[in-house]
Amino acid sequence: MELVKPAFGLTFWMVLGFLIVLFLLTKFAWKPILKALQERENSIEDALNAAKKAKAEIEGLKSDNEKLLAEARQERDQILKEARITKDNIINEARNKATVEADRLLALAREGIHNEKMAAITDLKNQVALLSVEIAEKVMKQQLANDDKQKALVADLLKGVKMN
């Protein structure tokens, strides 16, 4: 049958044409296209890898930051703790000092007061004595203004004085 017998002419042109098309397409289409596809795939992969790397780096930085932050926080706590202790110490010291000083001052004051009191009492005693003498003098002067009274007094005094 005619249909299943390959014709010479068509086979000739087909082989020639296909080889030419194969050659031209290989040179001008397939090679550049496949190369471009490969390059693009590589560049996409590179970009993805770079992004992954950058992400890891950022993650590293983040953890570094956190570490630093934690350290800083710890240091701050340490400093705060120390400060608190120092403060307490200072306060305690000051309080002790103040107490001691106050006690001393109190003692001094007390002593002063005592001394002053004593002096005042002595003074008062002297004053009272003086006043008493003065009063007594005045009374005596009043009482001994006339002779009668003087006599009466002497008499009275004399009454008191018993002859033992």
Partner 1 sequence: MKKSPILLLLLVVFTTISSLVNAQDSVAVNNTHTEAGNEKFDPGKMITDHISDAHGWHLWGHTEIPLPIIIYSKDRGLSVFSSSHFEHGHKTYNGYMIHGNKIVAVNEMEVTDAHSATINDQITEGVYDISITKNVMALLVSIVLLLIIFISVAKAYKTRPNQAPKGLQSLMEPLIIFVRDDIAKSSIGPKYKKYMPYLLSVFFFIWLNNLLGLIPLFPGGANLTGNIAVTMSLAVMTLLITIFSANKHYWLHVFAMPGVPVWVLIILTPIEILGVFLRPFVLMIRLFANIMAGHIIALSFVALIFIFGEIHAAVGASVGVVSLVFMVFMTTLELLVGFLQAYVFTLLSAIYIGAAVEEHDHDSHGHDAHVEEALII
Per-residue burial over 33-70, b = 16 or more CB atoms within 10 Å of its CB, e = otherwise: eeeeeeeeeeeeeeeeeeeeeeeeeeeeeeeeeeeeee
Question: What span, in angstroms and rounded, lies between the C-alpha atoms of 136 and 133?
Answer: 5
Work out whether 50 is an interface residue with partner 1 (CB under 8 A): no
Question: Is residue 14 near partner 1 by the rule CB under 8 A?
Answer: yes
Given a contact cutoff of 8 angstroms between Cβ atoms, the answer to whether 153 and 144 are in contact is: yes
CB of residue 47 to partner 1, shortest distance in Å: 9
CA-derived radius of gyration, the chain: 65
Q: Is 45 in the site for partner 1 (CB under 8 A)?
A: no
Between 30 and 129, CB nearer to partner 1: 30
CB of 54 vs partner 1, minimal distance in Å:
19
Contact, 132 vs 142, CB < 8 A?
A: no
Least Cβ distance, residue 46 to partner 1 (angstroms):
10
Nearer to partner 1, 43 or 115 (CB): 43
Q: Does 24 bind partner 1 (CB under 8 A)?
A: yes
As a whole number of angstroms, the distance between CA 97 and CA 112 comes to 22
Query: Which one among 15, 105, 108, 136 touches partner 1, defined by CB under 8 A?
Result: 15
Binding site for partner 1 (CB under 8 A): 2-15, 17-18, 20-22, 24-26, 28-34, 36-37, 39-40, 43
